[in-house]
């Protein structure tokens, strides 16, 4: 936990970078110190603030032992991460009045390919069947990564699915004394390819294996201060 708190700007920068946010790490640090860097759209500024709010909640929940791997906890993070993007944040698609037609999410994969997510009924069934099985996995690393992969694939929310799933994953990891997963700026291509592989094939291992590799790198590094210089690039 202390390494995450010390490297908080790095994690916020890295997460924002994966979303296409143009903030640099020094600019993220400035914004977190209430100095707004010039030249950025309001949407980018708000995204950094929302990520910081989610990080505040994560630190509080883990440090007080109140973090839980359940849908209520996930909804709270999604609310923070997508409240300035969608009409009804923090509500699963299968419970949302906005998604009246019941259709699944459409994820653009490139080269004209798209992934069509679960319908309302399919998602409800998948959540009810998968989550109890995932949360019953004994090993916390396996539990966290399988959760992140499934929730990203299921596209449970109207926006912010991957970010929400990773915050939940990090909550599980840090609650059990592990470092959280820092997907560096230089990992972006591999990250996107892992996601495309998962969405195209329906095989969660495509993304889960990538997350395992990032976890393994962090544990082998075992940095004293959590600072990942590659995140600056």
Q: What is the pLDDT of residues 158-198, one digit of tens each?
A: 999 999 999 999 999 999 999 999 999 899 999 999 999 99
Instruction: Please state the residue numbers annotated as binding site.
Output: 159-166
User: Does residue 110 or residue 19 have the better pLDDT?
Assistant: 19
pLDDT tens digits, one per residue of 22-44? 999 999 999 999 999 999 999 99
Question: What residues does each domain of the chain span?
Answer: 1-90+101-223
Percent of the chain residues past pLDDT 90, beyond the cut: 75
Dihedral sign (CA 182, 69, 129, 72): negative
CATH fold of 1-90+101-223 reads Fic-like fold (1.10.3290)
Residue 214 — very low, low, confident or very high, per pLDDT cuts 50/70/90? very high
Residue 151 — very low, low, confident or very high, per pLDDT cuts 50/70/90? very high
**C-beta contacts of 158-161 below 8 A and 24+ residues apart:** 158/82, 158/86, 158/87, 158/88, 158/89, 158/91, 158/93, 158/96, 158/98, 158/99, 158/105, 159/82, 159/85, 159/86, 159/89, 160/78, 160/81, 160/82, 160/85, 160/89, 161/78, 161/105
Instruction: Please state the residue numbers annotated as binding site for ATP.
Output: 159-166
**With 60 as the cut, is the pLDDT of residue 61 above it?**
yes
Please compute the mean of the pLDDT values over residues 4-33 and round it to a whole number.
95
List the single range of 74-78, 110-114, 126-130, 214-218 with lowest mean pLDDT: 110-114
């Amino acid at each position: 936990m202390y390494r995450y708190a010390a490297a908080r700007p790095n994690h916020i920068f890295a997460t924002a970078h994966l979303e296409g946010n143009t903030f640099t790490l020094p600019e993220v640090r400035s914004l977190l110190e209430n100095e707004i860097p010039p030249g950025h759209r309001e949407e980018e500024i708000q995204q950094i603030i929302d990520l910081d709010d989610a990080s505040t909640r994560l630190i509080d929940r883990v440090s007080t032992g109140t973090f839980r791997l359940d849908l209520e906890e996930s909804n709270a993070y999604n609310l923070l991460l997508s409240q300035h993007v969608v009409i009804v944040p923090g509500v699963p698609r299968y419970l949302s009045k906005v998604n009246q037609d019941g259709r699944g999410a459409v994820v653009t994969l490139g080269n004209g390919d798209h992934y069509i997510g679960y319908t309302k009924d399919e998602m409800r069934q998948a959540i009810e069947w998968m989550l109890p099985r995932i949360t019953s996995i004994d090993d916390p690393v396996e539990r966290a990564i399988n959760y992140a992969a499934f929730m990203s694939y299921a596209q449970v929310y109207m926006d912010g699915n991957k970010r929400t799933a990773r915050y939940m994953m990090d909550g599980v990891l840090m609650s059990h004394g592990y470092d959280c997963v820092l997907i560096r700026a230089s990992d972006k291509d591999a990250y996107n390819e892992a996601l495309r592989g998962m969405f195209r094939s329906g095989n969660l291992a495509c993304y889960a294996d990538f997350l395992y590799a990032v976890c393994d790198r962090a544990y082998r590094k075992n940095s004293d201060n959590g600072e990942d210089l590659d995140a600056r690039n």
